[in-house]
Structure 1
Amino acid sequence: MNAPVDALVAGLLAGYGVAIPFGAISVLVVALTARTSFRVGAGAGLGVAVADGLYAGVAVVGGTALAAVIKPAAGPLRLLAVAILLLLATRTVVQAIRQHRGRAAPARDGQGLNTPGRAFGAVLALTLLNPTTILYFGALILGRQASAPFTPTDAGIFVAAVLAASASWQLVVAGSGSLLGRLLASPRGRLGTALVSSALIVLLALRLLLAD
C-alpha cells in the first residue's frame, strides 16, 4: 500500500474509531435534532468532528516535530503506542458494559442551543475538554512517527480523513431520526457502537505493530 493511501486508510479508521462510540455527546446531538432541526443537530455534530480534526492535527504536528528525536527509540515507542491504544479499546468496552448494566450518567439535554452556530461552538468546546481524544491521537501518531513518519502531504491526508470520517458519522447521528436515535442511544446500541469502535482501535494498533 503506498503512503498516501495508507495515510487515508489510517485516518478513516482513526476517525471512525474515535467517533462511533455512542456516548453523552452523541445523545446530545440526537436530542438537539429532535427538539430543534437537522441544521442545529448537524452544527453540533460538526463541532465534534472539528474537535477530532484539531486533535489529530495537533498530534501530527507534534509527532512530525519529534520524529527525528524519537527515531532511535522507535521499537519501544511503537510498543508503548500499541499498548495505549489497546488500553483505550478495553476502556471503551468496559465503560459500555457498565452503561449496559444501567450505571450510565445522564446526558445533557442541550437547552439553549437552538441555532447551528451555538450548537457548533458549545459541542466543540465540550469535545475539546475530553482528554481521551488527545491521548488516542497522540499514541497513534507517536507510534507511527517513530517507525514510518508521515510526510507533510501524508499528514494532511490523514487529518482530512479523520475529519471526514468523524463528520460523516456525526451527520448520520444528527439525521438518524427519533427511531434510529433511540436505538443507538439504548444500552444495546451503546454497547454495539462501543464494540465496533474498540474493534477499529484494535485494528489500528495491529497495523501500527506490523508496520514496516
Structure 2
Amino acid sequence: MCHGRVRETRRVLVEILLSAGAGVVAGLGVAMPLGAIGALLLREGLVNGFRVAASAATGVAIVDTAYCAVAALVGATFAPLVESHRGAFLIVSGLVILAIGVRLLVMAVRRRTAQAAAAEPTDPFAAFLRFVGLTAINPLTLLYFVALAGAITTHSTWPIGPVVFVVAVGASSLAWQFVLATVGSLFGRSLSARATEIIGIVASILIVALGGMVAVSGVTLG
C-alpha cells in the first residue's frame, strides 16, 4: 500500500514537471517570434518608457493565458472551426494593426512639437487595454494554443496537469514580454530625443507594413 502511494506520488510529480516544461516551451513559442505585437511592445518601451510598456506586456500575457485556458478546456475540438475562418480573422486583425500603425506614425511625426509630445497617451492602464485588444484579435494565437492544449489534455491523467500547463504558459509569456519592454525602455533611455523620434517613426512604419502583410495574407487565404 505504501509503495503504491509512493509510486503514485512520483507519477503525479513527473506529470506536473512535464506539464510545466511543456507550458514554458509553449509560452515562449508563442511569445518569442517578433511579430506585430512584439514590435508594438518594443516601440512602447522606446517611446513611453518601461512603466507603460510593462503594463502593455502584462496585457499581452493575460490574453495568452486566457486563450491557453480556453484551449485547455476544449482541447482540439474547435481547431477546425477556427482554422476555417482564419482568413477573415487575419484580414480584420491586419486592418486593426494597420490602423494603429498609421495612428502611431502620425503621433510620432507630431512629437516634434512640445504640445503634441504632451498629448502622447502614456497612461499605463490605457496601454494595458490597448494590448489586450490587439492580442485578443490574433487568431493564430488561439489556434496555436488549441493545438498544444489538446495534446497536453489528452496525455494528462490528472486535472492538475492542464492547470500547471496554463500557469507555466502565462508565466513564460509574461517573462518574455517584460524582456521586450525592458529592451525597448533601455534603448529609449540611452538615445537622444531626436534619435528616439526617428526610431519611433521607423517602428511605426514597420507596424503599418506588418499590418498590411497580415491583411494581405488573410485575403490570400480567403
With normalisation by structure 2, the TM-score equals 0.58
- Equivalents in 1 of 2:48, 2:165: separation in Å? 33
Question: Which stretch of structure 1 is more off in the superposition, 164-173 or 135-144?
Answer: 135-144
Closer/same/farther in 2, CA of residues 129 and 150 from structure 1, 3 Å limit? farther
Correspondence list, 1:36-185, <5 A: 36-63=48-75, 108=101, 109=104, 113-146=121-154, 148-149=155-156, 151-176=158-183, 177-178=186-187
Closer/same/farther in 2, CA of residues 5 and 48 from structure 1, 3 Å limit? same
Contact 1:40/1:116, CA 8 A, preserved across alignment: yes
Secondary structure of residue in 2 paired with 1:175: helix
The reply on whether 1:15 has 2:27 as its aligned counterpart is: yes
Unaligned regions of 5+ residues in structure 1, if any? Answer: 67-76, 85-104, 188-212
Choose 1 or 2 for highest CA Rg: 2
- CA deviation map 1:48-73 (0-9, x unaligned): 11111001000111239x7xxxxxxx
- Equivalents in 1 of 2:129, 2:99: separation in Å? 21
* Residue in 2 that maps onto 1:199: none
Contact 1:40/1:119, CA 8 A, preserved across alignment: yes
Contact 2:15/2:156, CA 8 A, preserved across alignment: no
Identity %: 34
After TM superposition, give the deviation of residue 150 of structure 1 in Å.
Answer: 5.3
- Report the count of equivalent residues: 147
After TM superposition, give the deviation of residue 107 of structure 1 in Å.
Answer: 7.7
- CA deviation map 1:69-127 (0-9, x unaligned): xxxxxxxx9xx9xxx9xxxxxxxxxxxxxxxxxxxx89823865411111111101110
With normalisation by structure 1, the TM-score equals 0.61
Contact 2:75/2:147, CA 8 A, preserved across alignment: no
Unaligned regions of 5+ residues in structure 2, if any? Answer: 1-12, 84-97, 108-119, 191-198, 207-222
Q: RMSD of aligned C-alpha atoms?
A: 3.2
